Amino acid sequence: KQEVTQIPAALSVPEGENLVLNCSFTDSAIYNLQWFRQDPGKGLTSLLLIQSSQREQTSGRLNASLDKSSGRSTLYIAASQPGDSATYLCAVPDSSYKLIFGSGTRLLVRP
């Protein structure tokens, strides 16, 4: 059964710092991996989706990488801003295309 883990559970950094969020999964036979952002009390916003054949995807200051063989993905945020403060979730689909989520990393960027 696929399990998804995110480390760290919480992270606090000063504004301007580059940071990396980690996501690991136990079954490397994935179709893709999706990174989401969630603000308190809100729904999920899709940030990046990496296909199984891709190594990375970029959107603005965000870069997500995927290493299927080691069961890992990282989300790199460059030049962090207070507006980046949120919970970041990663998820992979199972064989029925349902998403299996990690518990998230709660990020605080201090001004």
Partner 1 sequence: DGGITQSPKYLFRKEGQNVTLSCEQNLNHDAMYWYRQDPGQGLRLIYYSQIVNDFQKGDIAEGYSVSREKKESFPLTVTSAQKNPTAFYLCASSIAGTETYEQYFGPGTRLTVT
Residue 58 sits in the site that holds partner 1 (CB under 8 A)? no
User: How many Å apart are CA 5 and CA 18, to the nearest integer?
Assistant: 22
Q: Is residue 11 part of the contact set for partner 1 (CB under 8 A)? A: no
CA angle 19, 102, 69 (to 5 degrees): 75
Q: Which of 18, 26, 51, 81 binds partner 1 (CB under 8 A)?
A: 51
Cα–Cα dist 81/37, whole Å: 14
Which positions from 78 to 107 touch partner 1 by CB under 8 A, shown as an x/- string?
Answer: -----------x-x-x--xxxx-xxxx---
From 43, 60, 83, 111, residue interacting with partner 1 (rule: CB under 8 A) = 43
When asked if residue 34 is in the footprint of partner 1 (CB under 8 A), the reply is yes
**Sequence-ordered list of residues with C-beta below 8 angstroms from that of 48, at least 6 positions apart, any chain:** 34, 35, 57, 58, 59, 62, 64, 75
Of 12 and 45, CB closest to partner 1: 45
